[in-house]
Copies of this chain bind each other. A is one copy, B any other.
């Protein structure tokens, strides 16, 4: 019966979406269930609705046959699970829904569908010669904006809190019903894309990091290009230099001088962003140890901690902000460099004379600076993908694809208070645990809000090395547990670690109750940001293996 059930559902989806939008090809199904770490869930089919109504129909069919559907937008959830589902199911690929539905230059927003990528919005704004900037996350230019927002990803401009700068969702509920959130639900409302709360209980938060509905449309806020943009870069050569820097910059975050995240990477982070593991060098072994890093910091002219931030405003505002930053960081950094478009072009062209003048070898650093600088202007970059290949011995055959190429990549992303004390505790802990598991502790600290920082720790490895998959997941787990114990819970989870999502039984019970209310058959992305509770699950999909 289960086999005939899936077969019948597939036939229904083919009728509803067109045969060309339902894929059963074994190679494709294997690919989409592959991530940058070991996955276990199998994909029975990929279906591709072209509009909201088709999403509704797809869900109604899923309900009829009790088959779990896992929505993906661009599927670039690298480091957290790529396209792969939490449990066995069918992928609902929203990539075809890629229209930009509204755009307002004066009120600074766009309304988009889930298939709209960072690259697409960037081009759209350029083509229209818009004076507006978007925010971009460091992932890929081909990353979906809606998808990233649903994962509560963050970027590097003042609009970096993606979930906090989007509103007016259109949501298809697990039952196939359609609602709009906030003021968008009022017919003819002019404020749906402008104001987040609406009236009555605010539902937007429910649909991020959840399996309560599929967001098929949302409005995203943009910012007017500032009269002046400058970035600043700094480094400290002290191992314990980070704490002082955080304590110095927090007041500038709190008082509004710094309106966007400050991004501070450790030496490992910069190294892995710019190069590959030196397998040819017999004098080093994995994981690179303190001695190796001391040499490499010198070669690369980098510090233990290397930071960047953006300044947005009028000429006068940026000038004043620079004064504040200089004062705050005085005596706490070994270098502080302000950079603007002109200087960056000059640096690229004249890196040698520049080094002679300033003593700073900028050529290697530029490779890291350039994409970071552009991200602060909301321009997406390809470059961050590189670090996924850190431990690989061979180059990618074609355009990089970490899933395909067996790149191991796990991101552990605790949130810590923006105090030197907490940041020191979290980074020391993370460094120790990751090294003990045999990986390089690549860390970046983002002062993402006025009061808290996200300390992304990257575990990057080669999936083709036997045993590494298991070791990496064990490392991730040990790290997450230890950070939780120290009071630093994660802001985001990967598909293998959703059991960390809920704190206690009461809370898990409420989430389960809401899920039951919105998804009585449990067909939408069971297990996503959900503690495993048997009651909530839809019928598993034993048929998948047979089909494939």
* Interface set of A (CB-CB < 8 Å, partner B): 106-109, 152, 158, 163-164, 173, 177-180, 183, 185-191, 193-210, 212, 221, 223-224, 226, 250-251, 254-257, 259, 312-314, 316-317, 319-320, 323-324, 415-419, 422, 449-452, 484-493, 500-504, 506-507, 509-511, 513-514, 516-518, 529-530
Please indicate the chain B residues that have their CB under 8 angstroms from the CB of A451 in the complex.
107-109, 193-195, 221
Whether A255 and B313, one on each chain, are in contact in the complex, defined by CB atoms closer than 8 angstroms, is: yes
Whether B251 and A200, one on each chain, are in contact in the complex, defined by CB atoms closer than 8 angstroms, is: no
Whether A206 and B205, one on each chain, are in contact in the complex, defined by CB atoms closer than 8 angstroms, is: yes
Contact of A183 among B199, B203, B224, B489 (CB under 8 A): B489
> Assuming the A-B contacts A203-B206, A256-B312, are A452 and B510 also in contact, with contact meaning beta carbons closer than 8 angstroms in the complex?
no
Please indicate the chain B residues that have their CB under 8 angstroms from the CB of A492 in the complex.
199
Q: How far is the CA of A210 from the CA of B205 in the complex (A)?
A: 15
Whether B186 and A503, one on each chain, are in contact in the complex, defined by CB atoms closer than 8 angstroms, is: yes
Contact of A518 among B186, B489, B513 (CB under 8 A): B513
> Assuming the A-B contacts A255-B224, A320-B320, are A207 and B199 also in contact, with contact meaning beta carbons closer than 8 angstroms in the complex?
no
Closest residue on chain B to residue A213 by CB atoms: B510
Closest residue on chain B to residue A158 by CB atoms: B256
Shortest CB-to-CB span from A441 to chain B, Å, is 21
Shortest CB-to-CB span from A507 to chain B, Å, is 5
Contact of A314 among B257, B312, B501 (CB under 8 A): B257
Please indicate the chain B residues that have their CB under 8 angstroms from the CB of A518 in the complex.
510, 513-514
Please indicate the chain B residues that have their CB under 8 angstroms from the CB of A183 in the complex.
415, 489
Q: How far is the CA of A193 from the CA of B509 in the complex (A)?
A: 23
> Assuming the A-B contacts A223-B254, A256-B259, A503-B180, are A201 and B191 also in contact, with contact meaning beta carbons closer than 8 angstroms in the complex?
no
Whether B312 and A316, one on each chain, are in contact in the complex, defined by CB atoms closer than 8 angstroms, is: no
Interface hub of A191, A514, A529 (most chain B Cβ within 10 A): A191
Please indicate the chain B residues that have their CB under 8 angstroms from the CB of A208 in the complex.
197, 201-202
Number of copies: 2
Q: How far is the CA of A206 from the CA of B452 in the complex (A)?
A: 23
Interface hub of A163, A187, A417, A507 (most chain B Cβ within 10 A): A507
Whether B190 and A417, one on each chain, are in contact in the complex, defined by CB atoms closer than 8 angstroms, is: yes
Q: How far is the CA of A202 from the CA of B178 in the complex (A)?
A: 20
Contact of A511 among B200, B324, B422 (CB under 8 A): B200
Whether A200 and B501, one on each chain, are in contact in the complex, defined by CB atoms closer than 8 angstroms, is: yes
Whether A107 and B417, one on each chain, are in contact in the complex, defined by CB atoms closer than 8 angstroms, is: yes
A–B Cβ pairs within 8 angstroms, 30 of them: A107-B417, A152-B197, A173-B510, A179-B506, A183-B489, A188-B487, A189-B487, A189-B489, A190-B416, A190-B487, A193-B451, A196-B449, A199-B490, A199-B492, A199-B493, A201-B205, A201-B210, A201-B529, A202-B209, A203-B205, A203-B206, A206-B206, A224-B251, A255-B313, A257-B313, A313-B320, A316-B316, A316-B319, A514-B517, A517-B517
Shortest CB-to-CB span from A286 to chain B, Å, is 31
Please indicate the chain B residues that have their CB under 8 angstroms from the CB of A506 in the complex.
177-179
Q: How far is the CA of A501 from the CA of B106 in the complex (A)?
A: 29
Please indicate the chain B residues that have their CB under 8 angstroms from the CB of A312 in the complex.
255-256
Shortest CB-to-CB span from A73 to chain B, Å, is 18
Closest residue on chain B to residue A250 by CB atoms: B106
Please indicate the chain B residues that have their CB under 8 angstroms from the CB of A509 in the complex.
177
Q: How far is the CA of A424 from the CA of B292 in the complex (A)?
A: 67
Whether B517 and A195, one on each chain, are in contact in the complex, defined by CB atoms closer than 8 angstroms, is: no
Whether B205 and A209, one on each chain, are in contact in the complex, defined by CB atoms closer than 8 angstroms, is: no
Please indicate the chain B residues that have their CB under 8 angstroms from the CB of A188 in the complex.
485-487
Q: How far is the CA of A20 from the CA of B484 in the complex (A)?
A: 43
Could you list 9 further interchain pairs (A-B, Cβ under 8 angstroms) beyond the known A152-B197, A185-B503, A202-B209? A108-B254, A180-B507, A195-B449, A199-B491, A199-B492, A201-B205, A255-B313, A320-B320, A510-B518
Shortest CB-to-CB span from A196 to chain B, Å, is 8
Whether A489 and B197, one on each chain, are in contact in the complex, defined by CB atoms closer than 8 angstroms, is: no
Whether B205 and A204, one on each chain, are in contact in the complex, defined by CB atoms closer than 8 angstroms, is: yes
Q: How far is the CA of A353 from the CA of B281 in the complex (A)?
A: 83
Closest residue on chain B to residue A324 by CB atoms: B314
Whether B484 and A199, one on each chain, are in contact in the complex, defined by CB atoms closer than 8 angstroms, is: no
Q: How far is the CA of A205 from the CA of B183 in the complex (A)?
A: 14
Please indicate the chain B residues that have their CB under 8 angstroms from the CB of A197 in the complex.
152, 163, 205, 208-209, 491
Whether B507 and A179, one on each chain, are in contact in the complex, defined by CB atoms closer than 8 angstroms, is: yes
Whether A491 and B206, one on each chain, are in contact in the complex, defined by CB atoms closer than 8 angstroms, is: no
Closest residue on chain B to residue A222 by CB atoms: B254
Whether B417 and A191, one on each chain, are in contact in the complex, defined by CB atoms closer than 8 angstroms, is: yes
Please indicate the chain B residues that have their CB under 8 angstroms from the CB of A422 in the complex.
190
Closest residue on chain B to residue A500 by CB atoms: B199
Contact of A179 among B107, B450, B510 (CB under 8 A): B510
Whether B190 and A256, one on each chain, are in contact in the complex, defined by CB atoms closer than 8 angstroms, is: no
Whether A201 and B190, one on each chain, are in contact in the complex, defined by CB atoms closer than 8 angstroms, is: no
Interface hub of A107, A199, A205, A518 (most chain B Cβ within 10 A): A199
Shortest CB-to-CB span from A291 to chain B, Å, is 34
Whether A191 and B224, one on each chain, are in contact in the complex, defined by CB atoms closer than 8 angstroms, is: no
Whether B205 and A484, one on each chain, are in contact in the complex, defined by CB atoms closer than 8 angstroms, is: no
> Assuming the A-B contacts A200-B210, A206-B206, are A185 and B316 also in contact, with contact meaning beta carbons closer than 8 angstroms in the complex?
no
Please indicate the chain B residues that have their CB under 8 angstroms from the CB of A191 in the complex.
415-417, 452, 487-489
Q: How far is the CA of A317 from the CA of B311 in the complex (A)?
A: 13
